[in-house]
Amino acid sequence: MSSFALTLGVVLQAAFAAAPAALQVSTAGSQLQFDPKELTVHAGQAVSLTFVNGASPDSNLDHTWALVAPGKAGEVSAGSAAAGRDQDYVSKSPDVLAHTHLVKPGAHETIHFTAPKTPGDYPYLCTYPAHYPAMTGVLKVVP
C-alpha cells in the first residue's frame, strides 16, 4: 500500500470514529420493555439518543431512559424512586451518566452525551418506580 493510501485510511478512520452516533430506543408499545435492549457506541463517541415512549397515550405510563455505571442499575433504581416526581424520578447519583426527563406516553426526548471513555457494558434502565428490572438494557461501549 502506498503511504498516501495508508495516510488516507488513517484519516478516514479518525473521521468515522469522531462521527456522532444517532441512536433511537423506544418502549415496546405499552409493555414495560425497551426496544431494542442492546445498543452499541464507541468509547468517547458523541451520542444523540432519542427515547420514544411508545405506550398508548391513555396508559399513564411515564418512562425515563437512564444510562448508569456498570453494576449500579439496582442502586440507581432505588435512589430514583426516593428522588420523587419533582426530580422526574431520576437519582442525582454520580452513577447516572446520562438521562432523559420523565417522558409521557406518545412523547419523545432527544438527549446528547459523550459515551463513556472506558469500554464495557453499561446498563440503561427506566428509573420510574418499579419499572426496573423489567425495563432495562445494555449500552455496549466498544473501543
The one-character DSSP state at 86 is G
Q: Which residues contact 111 (CB under 8 A, 6 or more apart)?
A: 48, 49, 51, 65, 98, 99, 100
The residues in 68-107 that bind Cu ion, with binding defined as CB under 5 A, are none
H or E stretch covering 6: helix 3-18
Please report how close the Cβ of residue 88 comes to Cu ion at its closest, in angstroms.
12
Query: Which lies closer to Cu ion via its Cβ, residue 51 or residue 122?
Result: 51
The residues in 109-128 that bind Cu ion, with binding defined as CB under 5 A, are 126, 128
Is 34 a residue that touches Cu ion (CB under 5 A)?
no
Among 115, 135, 138, 141, binds Cu ion (CB under 5 A): 135
Please report how close the Cβ of residue 53 comes to Cu ion at its closest, in angstroms.
8
The residues in 43-72 that bind Cu ion, with binding defined as CB under 5 A, are 63
Reduced 3-state DSSP string for 7-30 = HHHHHHHHHHHHCCEEEEEEECCC
Positions in the binding site for Cu ion (CB under 5 A): 63, 126, 128, 131, 135
